[in-house]
Amino acid sequence: MKRVTGIGGIFIKAKDPPALAAWYRRHLGIDVQDWGGTAFRWVDANGAPVAGTTVWSVGGGDAFAPGTATFMVNYRVADLDGLLQALRDEGCDVLEKLDDSEYGKFGWVLDPEGNKVELWQPPAGQ
């Protein structure tokens, strides 16, 4: 079974999300949208657009809980249910919460240092 197939997003926890987003916008030129992030469009080796995006976002709240890090990486996976079961079978700390929405299926696991890792199975065809 394939496990991780790519990175779907990077999420940064901030004490002051608007101020941190403004810093990234001003100093690094990231086109931060009103929702707190941007979607980097994928391109091929020649710079031509291909299907897919990587999300980058600054935010706050409890989306990182119970993790202890100030960031979270979202990894694309091909078979979320299969991977979560394999991780459970391997003794990993898989969170029970699952989300299924128009954006795909999401699950989470904590790594050995307490970092929350998001696993994302995109909708079919994406």
- pLDDT at 67 (0 to 100): 87
Segment 25-81, tens digit of pLDDT: 998 889 999 998 998 888 888 888 888 888 999 988 888 889 888 999 999 999 999
Indicate the average pLDDT of the chain: 90
Question: Which sign does the torsion angle of CA 88, 93, 96, 97 carry?
Answer: negative
Going by C-beta distance under 8 Å and a sequence separation of 6 or more, which residues neighbour residue 59?
A: 11, 12, 13, 14, 17, 36, 37
Helix (H/G/I), strand (E/B), else coil: 19: helix
Rounded to two decimals, what is the model's pTM?
A: 0.81
Residue where the block lists tokens 């916008």:
25
Identify the CA nearest to 116 among candidates 11, 1, 8: 11
CB atoms within 10 A of CB 46: 5
| Torsions phi, psi for 45 (to 5 deg) | -60, -25
| Whether residue 11 has pLDDT greater than 90 | yes
| Whether residue 12 has pLDDT greater than 90 | yes
Token pair of 4 as six digits: 């991780």
